[in-house]
Amino acid sequence: MKAEVREEIYLTARKWVEEAGEHIRRKINSPLVIDTKSNRNDLVTTMDRETESFFVTKIKETYPEHSIIGEEGYGDKLDNLNGVVWIIDPIDGTMNFVHQKRNFAISVGIYFDGVGEIGLIYDVMEDNLYHAKRNDGAFKNNEKLSPLNNNVVLEDAIIGMNHFWLCDNHFVEEKTMQQFVRTIRGARTYGSAALEFAFLAEGIMDGYLAMSLSPWDIAAGIVIVNEVGGVTTNIEGENLDMLEKNPVLTCNLCLQEKIIEFIKEGRK
């Protein structure tokens, strides 16, 4: 993708993300219609749907040749990542949006022939925009994010992970994960995958481990984390399939092998 073309798409995407965020902030105390999806804790609201629909309408008008993958189904059904593909989570952290009215983000990743070129994660209520373009560094608002400290040991690490890792699960023996939590310095659960990626990029966490994330949860985060020297793979260290759900490990490069080794012990 040509640099000028990418810059134009980036500026436009950024404008739309900020506009959508402002709309959500304005409506944050308005009554919500809340539905459930796969289970009673898997929430979706009219705001999730309206926000995705806003992006899809804008993209289709402005860039009819681009494709869209979105959580709420307004995008296209894709079986490949050819050309320019917008991968959108209109509200990442819907449970936080509903219950806390904060700690949620708009996440937009823009890929070209399968390569992540642009990542935007907007922490709406904090008005913090994390953004990156491939090979151009990552930023929090106007501040350039530093490369991750490559000297962290597991014993000093703060790792984001859902509590379900400590319950009976399909992936890893819970004893192993309990041992993992005891080994690291601290575990955190923010409830928004996109924000966990952003916090890793910011250097306030050292990794994030998730059992099952969809492309829209991670597309922007991958681009941003890459720019500060972090890595994102599945929990075996393999490349992710950006058209499917994956177990995901994103972390400081210096911890990747250690975390994968640790988990391997308890793999089911």
| Contact with Ca ion (CB under 5 A) among 10, 51, 89, 242 | 89
Of 246, 188, 189, nearest in space to 217 by CA: 246
Of residues 168 through 197, those in contact with ligand 2AM by CB under 6 A are: 191-193
Binding-site partner at residue 202 among ligand 2AM, Ca ion, none, CB < 5 to 8 Å by type = none
CA 230 to chain centroid: 14
CA distance 22 to 25: 5
Q: How many residues bind Ca ion (CB under 5 A)?
A: 5
- Closest approach of Ca ion to the CB of residue 93, in Å: 7
Pair 197, 208: CB distance under 8 Å: yes
Q: Does 71 bind Ca ion (CB under 5 A)?
A: yes
Quick check: helix, strand or coil at residue 191? coil
| Contact with ligand 2AM (CB under 6 A) among 124, 217, 223, 263 | 217
Of 201, 243, 207, nearest in space to 225 by CA: 201
Q: What is the DSSP string of 33-61?
A: -EEESSSTT-EEEHHHHHHHHHHHHHHHH
Which of 71, 227 has the CB closer to Ca ion?
71
Stretch touching ligand 2AM by CB under 6 A, among 3-11, 89-97, 122-130, 151-159: 89-97
Any known ligand binding at 92?
yes
Residues lying near Ca ion in the complex (CB under 5 A): 71, 89, 91-92, 217
Residues lying near ligand 2AM in the complex (CB under 6 A): 38, 42, 71, 89, 92-94, 162, 191-193, 213, 217
